[in-house]
Amino acid sequence: MMNIKGFFSFRAFLLTLLFLSSSNICASIDIQKKRIYNIVFDLFGVLLRIDKKQADQEMRTPQSNTQFDSEAVMSSPRWGELDSENATPEDIASTLSQTQDTDSVVNYIKNIGKYVKPIHIGMEIYEQIVAYKPKYRRKYNTYILSNVSKYCLAQIHEQDFFDRVSAEQGFKCPNIFKNATGEVYSFFTETLKPDVRIYDFFLDFCRPAGVKTQTFAEKTLFIDDSKRNLEGARKTGILAVSCQCHSILYFSLLALDIIDRNKKIEQHLTWEEPKEFARFKLFSLNELQDFDLIAHDLADLRSLAVLRS
C-alpha cells in the first residue's frame, strides 16, 4: 500500500480530502455567476486604508508628552458610535483621555481624510469590474456600503481627494463615488455592519423600482474584509466574498466569472506564470474563501496547489 504520509503532510492530506468531498460546489457557482448584476464594495480594507504611520507622526502636538497612537484611537470601544452618528469626536477623545491627548484625538477625527490612501490592488480590481465588456456580460451596477463617519466621508467624497492621492501614489485613482449607482453609510442609518438592519436598508434603498427585495439580494455580490460583516450580508440573501487578502479576492472573482484575468492586477501578486495560475483554477470558491479567513498570505494555498497539479 502506498505510504501517503510520504507524499503529503497530514494537514495537506486533510485539505485534499475536503476538496474531493466538495467537488459538487462548482455547479452552484455556475448558477450564481449568471445572476450577479450588482457589486457592493466596503471602503476600508477593500479600496481604501488609513496611513496610520503618517497620522502618528503628524498628530503629536509639541505640548503633549504622549505619543499619538491612531490604532488606539480607532480601537476605542466607542469608535463605532462615531460611525453610526451616536458619538462626537469629543466623546471619543474623552474615553481616551488617560492615554491620548484629547485635542489631538479630536483633530485627528475631524481631519482623518488627510490620512486616507487608496489600496492599489483594490482599485485595480475595482476598475476591472467597472470596465465591463458588453459582448460578454451586462454592465455591473456598483454600490458602496460602509461603516464610516460623516467627518471622514466629507473629506474623501470629492474629486479633489482622488486628484491628490493619484499624485501622491503615482497612479490614477478612479473616483469610486462618481461611478457608484448607490451609496449607504452607517451614519445614514445609525446602525453598523454586521447589524442586519443596515443590509435591509441597503436593499430597500438601492433596489430599482419594481424589483423585489429578495430578487435584488440574489443578484448582488458584497465584498468586505470582515467575516462578521459578510455573515450579516448573507443573512439577507446577499452573496458575499471576503477581501481579507486581495490575492484571494482576485481568485474568487475569477471563480465567479465576475472579472477576466488582468495583467495589471497580477503584477501585484506573486506566482510563476503560467503554471502556478493554472493550479489555482482547481479550487472551488468555498475553498478559496476558507483560506482567506484563516490566512493572510498564499503560502499554504500555494503548497496545496502544487500537490493537486
Nearest to 205 by CA among 229, 187, 222, 188: 188
Q: Per residue in 221-278, pLDDT tens?
A: 999 999 899 999 999 999 999 998 888 888 888 888 888 888 888 887 755 555 555 6
Domain spans in the chain, listed from the N-terminal domain onward: 7-35+247-309, 50-115
Alpha-carbon distance of 288 to 1, in angstroms, equals: 32
State how beta strands 116-118 and 182-185 pair: unpaired
Q: Per residue in 41-52, pLDDT tens?
A: 999 999 999 999
Q: Which residues contact 178 (CB under 8 A, 6 or more apart)?
A: 159
Q: What is the CA radius of gyration of the chain?
A: 21
187 half-sphere exposure, CB direction, 13 A CA radius: 15
pLDDT of residue 134: 46
pLDDT of residue 66: 75
DSSP 75: T
pLDDT of residue 148: 97
Torsion on CA atoms 188, 192, 193, 198, rounded to nearest 10: -40
pLDDT of residue 49: 96
- Dihedral angle sign, alpha carbons of residues 22, 249, 180, 260: negative
pTM: 0.81
Average pLDDT, the chain: 82
286 half-sphere exposure, CB direction, 13 A CA radius: 15
Alpha-carbon distance of 96 to 223, in angstroms, equals: 32
Nearest to 251 by CA among 229, 240, 266, 237: 266
Q: Are 185 and 41 in contact (CB under 8 A)?
A: no
Q: How far is CA 254 from CA 30, 52, 123, 282, 288, in A?
A: 12, 32, 16, 12, 11
